[in-house]
Amino acid sequence: MEPSSTLAPFIAWLATREDDEQVRRRHRMLVEHYLVWCSTERGSLPDRRARFLTEHTRNGGRADHLEAALARFDEFCAMLSATADR
């Protein structure tokens, strides 16, 4: 899946869930980076996520910021999945 086709709806959804603009921007940036990174990586989702977290923190990123962003992205994906079945 093309990262932009997932990211645009996530950004719109995130605006309805997160009041703090700085947090929204950080989440968008981290999720975008994650989606682009995953498009070139192999392995199971949990394995890719763990490797991305390791790389992110090794490069000076904060684990808590990435975990919060990916938790919001998971929430978005769960909502999409739940509404796709209807």
- Distance, in Å, from the CA atom of 15 to the CA atom of 70, rounded to the nearest integer, reads 15
Question: Quick one: angle between helices 63-84 and 3-17, nearest 10?
Answer: 100
List the domain boundaries for the chain. 3-84
- Distance, in Å, from the CA atom of 45 to the CA atom of 73, rounded to the nearest integer, reads 13
- Distance, in Å, from the CA atom of 85 to the CA atom of 1, rounded to the nearest integer, reads 19
Instruction: Give the pLDDT of residue 48.
Output: 92
Options 1.10.730, 2.60.120, 3.30.40, 1.10.150; CATH for 3-84 is 1.10.150
Instruction: Give the pLDDT of residue 84.
Output: 79
Which residues in the chain show pLDDT less than 70? 1-2, 85-86
Please tell me the chain's helix, strand, coil percentages from 3-state DSSP, rounded to the nearest 5: 80, 0, 20
Whether the model clears a pTM of 0.85, i.e. scores above it, the answer is: yes
Instruction: Give the pLDDT of residue 81.
Output: 87
